[in-house]
Amino acid sequence: MKSILDIKEKLIRTIGEKRFIHSIGVMETAVDLAKKYGVDEDKARMAGLLHDCAKYRDHLYLLKRVSDFDIILDDMMLQNKELIHGPLGAKVAEIEFGIKDKEILSSIYYHTIGKEDMSLLEKIIYIADFIEPGRTFQGVDFHREYAFKHLDGALRLSMDNTIKHLVDKGRLIHLNTIKARNYLISIEKSELDA
C-alpha cells in the first residue's frame, strides 16, 4: 500500500481539487465516527479518503475504466451513471492505490447504494459522505448530531432523504438502497419488540 501522502497527491490529480476537498471532509468525519463507534480509525481514514477515487468527471472515461476492469454493472447502474463510481472505486483503490483490505474495499463499493446488514465501517463511510462538513442541505446539522448518537437511525434517515430526493427528481432508486433501508427498519422494530 502507498503512503497516505502519495495517495493524496495521486488522488487530487485524478479527481480534482473540489472532489478532493470533499474526500478530506469524508475522511475526517469517518475518523470521528470510527472513534465514537470503536471502529479501526486507519481503515476509516483510508476508506473515507478513497471513497470517490473513481468519481471521474468524464462519463466516457468512467465507462472505459469499467470495461478495463471487466466490472459487470447491474441495470440500475447502467441507467444511473452516478452509481458507477462505487464499484469502480473499489477496483481502482485495490489496483491503483494498493488497498487489499476487503472491508475498506467493500465500504468504497457500497458508499452510494448501501446494502443489507452493512458492517460498521460501511455504515460510517455511507453516513460520513452524507454529513461531511462541505454538505449544506437543509437539516444537515441535525443529521450530523444524530450520527454520533444513533448510527443506524442516522443511516436510515439519510437513506430516507436520498430516496425522497430521487423520487422528487423522477430518478431510479437502486434496490440495494431499498433493501438496506428495509433491513434497518426491521432491526429497529425487532429491538422495540424485544
Mean pLDDT of the chain: 93
Give the residue with greater pLDDT, 189 vs 172. Answer: 172
Helices 120-131 + 17-37 axis angle, to 10: 130
The fraction of the chain above a pLDDT of 70, given in percent, is 97
Render pLDDT for 75-92 as a digit per residue (tens, 0 to 9): 889 888 889 999 999 999
Render pLDDT for 94-152 as a digit per residue (tens, 0 to 9): 999 999 999 999 999 999 999 999 999 999 999 999 999 999 999 999 999 999 999 99
N residues, the chain: 194
Exposed (0-12), middle (13-18) or buried (19+): which is 72, by Cβ within 10 Å?
Answer: exposed
Q: What is the mean pLDDT of residues 38-56?
A: 97
Residue 191 corresponds to which amino acid? E
Cell numbers found for residue 77: 447502474
**CATH assignment of 4-193?**
1.10.3210.10
pLDDT-based confidence at residue 1 (cuts at 50, 70, 90): low
